[in-house]
């Protein structure tokens, strides 16, 4: 290993030291960075209009939510989409669906998924890469679009009042760690039992014993999910009725719907049409030709549910689908990499606002495919698109984003994304199948190509 590798030596280091000492620019950079954090030192003045919260297409949406110290962004974004549907049907001004309820069932299902994967790979060596990936992922908060559809279709959704947040649903690290320890103990027991030729029934008993513990831990930390609940709300006056004489209409009419099940609520109070949506990615890497479909092996939550399924499209087509959804008044669920070129206080993602090249007199630019192939970039956060500004050629300039990091950053929690940043760091958009052209519809019918569990298109499902 590394037989021909060359160690660093003093001569080479002196060469680098001399180069640094002769550079007036690097000396200036040293002075600047002595008292200024790097990302702030390289910030440049934004172009006019790029940081204003005015958009040519904008959806009127509710106040932002807050996932706090958890990786539940994918669930928050989806539930924020669904709550807008509830709001439209029932004229509700402010409303949240229970993120805790969805997270409870997600973790319960993930525990079963994890143990079933361990059983499926029980004949592999302990250092097998696929098995190692599953064991190292363990219990985490992340997920993908098809995973949340599986959850909502099986368990439904409930208003936040029916299952509110707890300290541990809002800060999941400690619970994840202890649940993972219980799952790994079970994995050890399952692999030992497999080596001793235990029957499938005996393996199932070992698994169910662990799942019973996981369920109990979730109930203790998150609360017991309701089987039925009452839905109470006040509807806002319909537009045009704000000045009605009836004070009850002006202030909001009280409603209560009793003994609803979570499935009933999902089917009847939201549009209940998530099966009409499909997931589209932009991955310009050689291994993923456009107009092909893809799935990611061993990533999921609900055993027997729909697998992860993507159609890879050129970026201009991905953007076109997002814009068409926005034009029809629909927020757009999307996945991106928020690790780079962001100003959290201001709520801006814009690679044009940072000039590292000038400060260091070096080149740092990577193409999108290079970032993916060399593991520099991958999906790690899901949000909603709720607006866009189009230029005179109907091309996007900037995007409005509903984040789930609370209302203390950005414009009361809403962010701006530059078009350049969108093209580089947005990897996934979800849109309705009815918006597709014939070529896209045809491509969507093809059997998927299988990707490895560690592929960059699967990383959103392993966010902590």
pLDDT digits (tens, 9 = 90+) for 292-311: 999 999 999 999 999 999 99
Burial 8-32 (b: 16+ CB within 10 A, else e): eeeeeeeeeeeeeeeeeeeeebeee
Between 385 and 241, residue with greater pLDDT: 385
Catalytic option among 168, 176, 330, 381: 381
Q: Rounded CA gap, 229 and 259, in Å? A: 5
Domain boundaries 57-462, corresponding CATH code: 3.90.70.10
- Residue whose entry in the numeric block shows the structure tokens 């201009």: 316
Residue 31 designated active-site: no
> Of 277, 274, 337, which Cα lies nearest the Cα of 310?
277
Q: What is the pLDDT of residue 245?
A: 45
Confidence tier at 364 by pLDDT (50, 70, 90): very high
Residue 24 has pLDDT above 70, yes or no: yes
Which of the following is catalytic: 73, 133, 282, 312? Answer: 73
pLDDT in tens, 239-279: 555 544 444 445 579 999 999 999 999 999 999 999 999 99
Known catalytic residue at 219: no
pLDDT at 45: 78
Residue 434 structure tokens: 């009815």
pLDDT-derived band of residue 462, with 50, 70 and 90 as boundaries? confident
Query: Is 403 a known active-site residue?
Result: yes
pLDDT at 51: 82
Model pLDDT, residue 142: 97
Which one is catalytic: 80, 176, 282, 403?
A: 403
């Amino acid at each position: 290993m590394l037989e021909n590798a060359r160690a660093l030596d003093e001569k080479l280091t002196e060469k680098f030291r001399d180069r640094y000492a002769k550079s007036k620019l690097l000396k200036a950079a040293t002075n600047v960075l002595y008292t200024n954090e790097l990302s702030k030192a390289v910030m440049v003045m934004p172009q006019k209009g790029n940081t204003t919260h005015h958009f040519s297409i904008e959806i009127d949406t509710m106040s932002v939510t807050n996932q706090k110290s958890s990786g539940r962004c994918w669930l928050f974004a989806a539930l924020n989409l669904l709550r807008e549907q509830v709001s439209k049907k029932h004229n509700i001004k402010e409303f949240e669906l229970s993120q805790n309820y969805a997270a409870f069932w997600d973790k319960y299902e993930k525990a079963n998924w994890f143990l079933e994967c361990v059983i499926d790979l029980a004949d592999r060596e302990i250092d097998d890469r696929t098995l190692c990936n599953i064991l190292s992922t363990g219990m985490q908060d992340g997920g993908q679009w098809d995973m949340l559809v599986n959850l909502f279709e099986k368990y439904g959704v409930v208003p936040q009042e029916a299952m509110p947040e707890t300290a541990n649903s809002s800060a999941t690290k400690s619970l994840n760690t202890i649940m993972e320890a219980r799952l790994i103990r079970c994995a050890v027991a399952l692999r030992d039992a497999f080596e001793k030729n235990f029957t499938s029934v005996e393996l199932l008993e070992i698994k169910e014993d662990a799942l019973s513990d996981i369920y109990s831990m979730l109930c203790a930390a998150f609360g017991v999910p309701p089987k039925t609940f009452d839905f109470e709300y006040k509807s806002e006056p319909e537009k045009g009725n704000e000045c009605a004489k009836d004070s009850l209409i002006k202030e909001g009419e009280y409603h209560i719907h009793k003994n609803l099940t979570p499935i009933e609520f999902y089917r009847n109070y939201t549009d209940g049409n998530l099966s009409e949506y499909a997931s589209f990615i932009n991955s310009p890497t050689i291994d993923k030709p456009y107009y092909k479909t893809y799935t990611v092996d061993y990533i999921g939550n609900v055993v027997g549910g729909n697998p992860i399924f993507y159609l890879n499209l050129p970026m201009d087509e991905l953007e076109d689908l997002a814009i068409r959804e926005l034009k029809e008044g629909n927020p757009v669920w999307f996945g991106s990499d928020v690790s780079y070129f962001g100003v959290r206080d201001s709520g801006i993602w814009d690679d044009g606002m940072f000039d590292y090249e000038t400060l260091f007199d070096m080149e740092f630019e990577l193409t999108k495919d290079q970032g993916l192939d060399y593991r520099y970039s991958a999906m790690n956060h899901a949000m909603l698109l709720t607006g866009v500004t189009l230029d005179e050629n109907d091309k996007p300039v900037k995007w409005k984003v509903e984040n789930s990091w609370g209302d203390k950053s950005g414009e009361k929690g809403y962010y701006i994304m530059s078009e350049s940043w969108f093209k580089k760091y947005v990897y996934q958009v979800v849109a309705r199948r009815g918006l597709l052209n014939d070529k896209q519809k045809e491509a969507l019918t093809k059997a998927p190509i299988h990707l490895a569990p560690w592929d960059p298109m699967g990383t959103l499902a392993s966010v902590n």
